[in-house]
């Protein structure tokens, strides 16, 4: 069968938390990989997508699925430094590995966010067992939908596609955060 | 491959709501079937398992999955008659097909509940595409877990097993309802 | 000071639950009285107003405030009989006194509901220490607002007025139930 | 009647947000004052006490009640600087006036937190119309209880007392944060 998905670029991470060694997409080949891209001051990330990432970590086997956080800071850079992030991860009991998306010398959007064309936070990425990006969803995904998408990739033996769905409530874009869950 | 699951008996239903014709497990062969067994006065059913069944109906294709409600009254029979059930289904906007589990002349536990050895309500049953019971879960199932179980059955080509998990919060048994979500 | 509030009529109750003797507005003179009017098959009552009535019962002194439920059935009468109500109160652990609003031989709206001009369920009534109706609110009231209204009446020494506020989400009227919280 | 409450000390604030001029307890004399002490990385503050403070602001008249936030940083000082706080207030749409509790040259506990003997965050303080501290509650307060306490102070003509109640779920102390609401 012809390979219809393009190879995905590696993520670019300047620092890792909750991981003894750097993680790479290449080294996770063979597992499905979920990346939860967030900002520590994005309300929808704090109330919804990060708790969901922790639930996903509990619900699926580590042998089938890797769950990785990515701190994609594209605004208030001086307020969301690695020092602040470290305190945030500690206080919110975020125990999954979290990488800091590498700063872009040319602008506010960090390199991985730019490479994967993320529109804001929260964004959830799903990579198949071959390391190819198969879902790129901006905004909240219901648990039922996310689990179904993960399982479809976990169960894949041949390579068939899918399309990304988006729910743009409680999100942050480079323009603004909207529909905060206060 | 050898068939390791026993054939499941048909459900026994005395009356259907939201369905023009009676439904049978046999006629649904080829689809995964989810049965949400409930009582209209079971608090955990009203607040959790029935809304979940409606979410599942929305999230999965009708071609892959049938979602069926089953009113398994094992207590307060005189308070949960078909007349009361009809009003309940109307007021709570329950639009999936709902069958009334057939009364047992020999005791309070209705026939399908007894045949499938359900322990109380809510109970979720999952049947594979061959009509064999593969999950029998008493109590709440998180959306992530339920969706993963459904997708595993949807994606099955060979027949491998699984075990039922149970969360017994907010449940009714023939003895009592507990941990109400008031 | 002149008495600016009209005397309120007694409620009309055909049967009491959770009370050894019938309750009357007259006999509760001296306390503030909160009446939570509901139907057992009104989704907004089950998920919001009855749990709120139980929280109010816990939060305020019995010496200052009486909390009374009133089953004002105006639709599906055959589905919400006293037999069904008894099972409902048991399963949902409703422990406050609950009266059954007296049926109206002339129509579907029961007598107390009609006398107090309630628009549907849930409705919350607040009577002052002199037994006069001071709030008549159809729909959900936030806890902060309700507690402030109760305390204003608890603290009253002279008689000053107020106006009812209404939030009509998740309500039932003689026409329909809307915005169900499923 | 004899004055049984001691005068309360002024708060000590190094910087104000959302206020054109510094606020003082003295200048608010005549109103009830609610202070919501928080840390921007305290999960219970973000999910519960700050949204509650905004609800309280909406529910009560500005003529009766002043609502003030106080950023009482006692840990991770380098992660919760005024720069980070400014971004946090912006992203979470916190529009009430917020003061930064003045740093203590002698230790990690800031001056106002120390002066009022707060045990951690969130803490809610209620001052009566005479500027005397009447409630000092560590942890979550249900809306019903908080509104009743506020109304009791709003309605006060003579001076009677009360006792602080505490609910220590989802709180941060100088030792740790516990029972996070993830």
Give residue-wise pLDDT tens across range B46-59: 999 999 999 999 99
Query: What pLDDT sits at residue B86?
Result: 98
Cβ C172 vs Cβ C47: under 8 Å: no
> Can you give the pLDDT at residue D168?
61
pLDDT tens for each residue of C41-55 = 999 999 999 999 999
Taking a C-beta distance cutoff of 8 angstroms, is the pair D113, D77 a contact? no
Q: Which two tokens stand for residue C163?
A: 């106006």
Residue B3 has what pLDDT? Answer: 55
Q: Is D54 on the interface with A (CB under 8 A)?
A: yes
Tell me the pLDDT tens digit for each residue of B142-159. 999 999 999 999 998 644
Distance from CA of C171 to the nearest CA of B (A): 11
Per domain, the residue ranges of chain A are: 13-143
Answer yes or no: are the C-beta atoms of C35 and C70 closer than 8 Å.
yes
Among A17, A36, A92, the strongest candidate for a mutation testing the D interface, having the largest count of D CBs within 10 A, is A92
Superfamily of domain A13-143: Glutaredoxin (3.40.30.10)
Q: Look at residue B127 and tell me whether its pLDDT is greater than 60.
A: yes
Q: What is the mean pLDDT of chain B?
A: 90
Question: Residue range D98-106: average pLDDT?
Answer: 97
**Angle subtended by helix axes D143-154 and D50-59, to nearest 10:** 40
Give the H or E element holding residue A99. strand A98-101
Residue of D nearest to C154 (CA): D152
Cβ B151–A146 below 8 Å, yes or no?
no
Tens digits of pLDDT across chain A (182 residues): 445 677 799 999 999 999 999 999 999 999 999 999 999 999 999 999 999 999 999 999 999 999 999 999 999 999 999 999 999 999 999 999 999 999 999 999 999 999 999 999 999 999 999 999 999 999 999 999 999 999 999 998 644 444 444 456 688 888 888 764 43
Q: For residue D174, what pLDDT is reported?
A: 83
How confident is the model over B64-86, as pLDDT tens digits? Answer: 999 999 999 999 999 999 999 99
Which residues in chain D touch residue A43, judged by CB atoms under 8 angstroms apart? 91-92
The pLDDT of residue B11 = 97
> Which chains, if any, share at least 3 CB pairs under 8 A with chain A?
B, D
- How far is C79 from C102, CA to CA, in rounded Å? 16
- Is residue B2's pLDDT more than 80? no
* Pairwise CB contact (< 8 Å): C55 & D144: yes
Q: What is the pLDDT of residue C159?
A: 43
Tokens at A31, concatenated: 């597992």
Examine the pLDDT at D158 and tell me if it is beyond 90. no
Task: For chain B, list the strands marked E by DSSP.
Answer: 13-17, 32-38, 65-71, 98-101, 123-127, 133-138
- If you average pLDDT over residues D4-31, what whole number do you get? 93
CB pair distance less than 8 Å for A79 and D92: no
Q: Flag whether pLDDT at B164 surpasses 50.
A: no
CB atoms within 10 A of CB B22: 11
Kindly report the nearest CA distance between residue B181 and chain C, in angstroms.
9
Mark whether A and C touch (3+ CB pairs within 8 Å). Answer: no
Q: Is the per-residue pLDDT at B163 higher than 50?
A: no
Structure confidence at residue D85 (pLDDT): 98
Whether the model clears a pTM of 0.95, i.e. scores above it, the answer is no
Interchain pair D182, A76: CB under 8 A: no
| pLDDT score of A1 | 41
| Number of A–D residue contacts, CB under 8 Å | 61
* Chain-chain contact of D182 with A42 (C-beta, under 8 angstroms): no
Predicted pLDDT at A177: 83
Euclidean distance between the first and the last CA atom of chain A, given in angstroms as a whole number: 49
pLDDT band at B141 (very low <50, low <70, confident <90, very high): very high
Please provide residue A86's backbone torsions phi and psi, each rounded to the nearest 5 degrees: -60, -45
Chain A residues close to D180, C-beta within 8 Å: 91-93
Looking at residue A91, what is its pLDDT? 97
Measure the CA–CA gap between D21 and C62, rounded to whole angstroms.
45
The DSSP secondary structure of chain C, one letter per residue, reads ----SPPPPPP-EEEEES-SS---TGGGTTSEEEEEEE-TT-HHIIIIIHHHHHHHHHHS-TTTEEEEEEE---S-GGGS-HHHHHHHHHHTT--S-EEEEPPBTTBSS-HHHHHTT--SBSEEEEE-TTS-EEEEEEB---HHHHHHHHHHHHT-SS--------B-SS-B-SS-B-S---
Q: How many CB pairs (< 8 A) connect A and B? A: 50
Q: pLDDT below 70 — which residues of chain C?
A: 1-4, 157-169, 179-182
Q: What percent of chain B has pLDDT over 90?
A: 81
- Does C142 reach chain D within 8 Å, measured CB to CB? yes
pLDDT of D128 strictly over 80:
yes
ipTM exceeding cut-off 0.90 for this assembly: no
Q: How far is CA C53 from the centre of its chain?
A: 9
Checking if the pLDDT of D157 tops 70, the result is no
């Amino acid at each position: 069968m012809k390979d219809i998905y393009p190879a995905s670029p590696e993520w670019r991470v300047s620092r890792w938390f909750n991981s003894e060694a750097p993680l790479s997409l290449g080294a996770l080949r063979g597992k499905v990989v979920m990346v939860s891209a967030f900002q520590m001051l994005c309300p929808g990330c704090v109330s919804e997508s990060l708790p969901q990432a922790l639930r996903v970590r509990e619900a699926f086997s580590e042998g089938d699925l890797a769950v990785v956080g990515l701190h994609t800071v594209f605004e208030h850079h001086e307020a969301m430094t690695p020092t602040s992030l470290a305190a945030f991860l500690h206080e919110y009991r975020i125990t999954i590995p979290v990488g800091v998306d590498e700063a872009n010398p040319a602008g506010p959007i960090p390199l991985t966010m730019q490479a994967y064309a993320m529109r804001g936070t929260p964004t959830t990425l799903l990579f198949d067992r071959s390391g190819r990006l198969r879902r790129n969803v901006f905004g909240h995904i219901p648990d039922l939908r996310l689990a179904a998408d993960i399982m479809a990739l976990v169960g894949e033996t041949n390579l068939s596609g899918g399309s990304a769905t988006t729910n743009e409530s409680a999100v942050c874009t480079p323009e603004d955060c909207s529909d905060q869950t206060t």
